[in-house]
Amino acid sequence: MLNIRGFEREKELPRAVYFSNSYFTKSQLFSLSEQIYLIYKYAQKCTKPKILEIGKGNGFVSDFFKKAEFDFLTYDINKNLLPDIEGNILELSHIVNHKVDIVVACEILEHLPFDMFEDSLKEISKVTNKYVVITLPEFKKFFGFGFLIRLPKLEMFSKQIMLKLKANKILSSEHFWEIDYDIKTQRKNIESIIYKYFSIVEKGSFDTNPYHNYYVLEKKMEQML
């Protein structure tokens, strides 16, 4: 199993993998909560939002929204995870026969060869009516610190001061690529592909886990025709 990547690996992973020790680390739990915050932020801009999550994982995000009575469906290639809809991302528009307001694909796209990145975004563009929330890991080392700021009459927010250095680490065994892993996956190249189908509404890295970069995308008008 460790020598297999991509669809073949993902569709056979046992459910227990998504509840292993690495999913109990603070950085991982922080990232999941950041995802919930970001999805909710843009769901508030929609009337009775319909949300589709590609890659159910351990169900942390989907369970939260379902218990909050959101119209939230999960889509995954792995039947062991009991997704609402089973299929791979390149079949998305052929399997999901209705439009949704938000498509979520967090820490998913790097598990496929970069050559599939554009095709994956194209499929997502056919299913969403409005927004897409994706996260991608960045091939960097991070050094710095962060802090919380609370001011009168303002919501508490966090700030990070971080130095990013080119990583000399070995790429994670299950990842084909990360942001800035090589020339092909430079951020400018990734964003040039994104711009073919979407506008970038918001982007950044999670204050609580800068390894994870996020993009909030909005479908271009010409893609709606």
With beta carbons less than 8 A apart as the criterion, state whether 53 and 74 touch. Answer: yes
Given a cut of 60, whether residue 225 has pLDDT beyond it is no
Question: Is residue 169 included in any domain, yes or no?
Answer: yes
Question: Is residue 219 included in any domain, yes or no?
Answer: yes
State the DSSP code for 208.
T
Question: Is residue 174 included in any domain, yes or no?
Answer: yes
E-state strands within the chain: 50-54, 71-76, 85-86, 100-106, 128-137, 140-149, 157-166, 198-206, 209-219
pTM: 0.91
Question: Is residue 194 included in any domain, yes or no?
Answer: yes
* Alpha helices by DSSP H, the chain: 7-10, 26-43, 60-67, 92-95, 117-127, 187-194, 221-224
Pairing of strands 209-219, 128-137: antiparallel
pLDDT at position 6:
86
Summarize pLDDT for 15-26 with one digit per residue, the tens: 999 999 999 999
Q: What is the mean pLDDT of the chain?
A: 92
pLDDT top residue among 154 and 81: 81
Given a cut of 80, whether residue 146 has pLDDT beyond it is no
CA distance 128 to 110: 20
Given a cut of 50, whether residue 147 has pLDDT beyond it is yes
User: Lowest-confidence range among 9-18, 56-65, 113-122, 157-166?
Assistant: 157-166
Rounded alpha-carbon distances, angstroms, from residue 59 to 5, 32, 166: 21, 10, 32
pLDDT at position 163:
82
Q: Which domain holds residue 146?
A: 7-224
Given a cut of 80, whether residue 33 has pLDDT beyond it is yes
Q: What is the CATH number of the domain that holds 81?
A: 3.40.50.150
Calculate mean pLDDT across residues 73-100.
97
Share of the chain above pLDDT 90, in %: 76
Question: Is residue 79 included in any domain, yes or no?
Answer: yes
pLDDT at position 159:
74
CA distance 131 to 220: 10
CA distance 140 to 131: 27
Question: Is residue 1 included in any domain, yes or no?
Answer: no
Calculate mean pLDDT across residues 71-98.
97
With beta carbons less than 8 A apart as the criterion, state whether 125 and 155 touch. Answer: no
Calculate mean pLDDT across residues 134-143.
92
Question: Is residue 131 included in any domain, yes or no?
Answer: yes
Question: Is residue 2 included in any domain, yes or no?
Answer: no
Q: How many domains is the chain built from? A: 1
Given a cut of 70, whether residue 224 has pLDDT beyond it is no
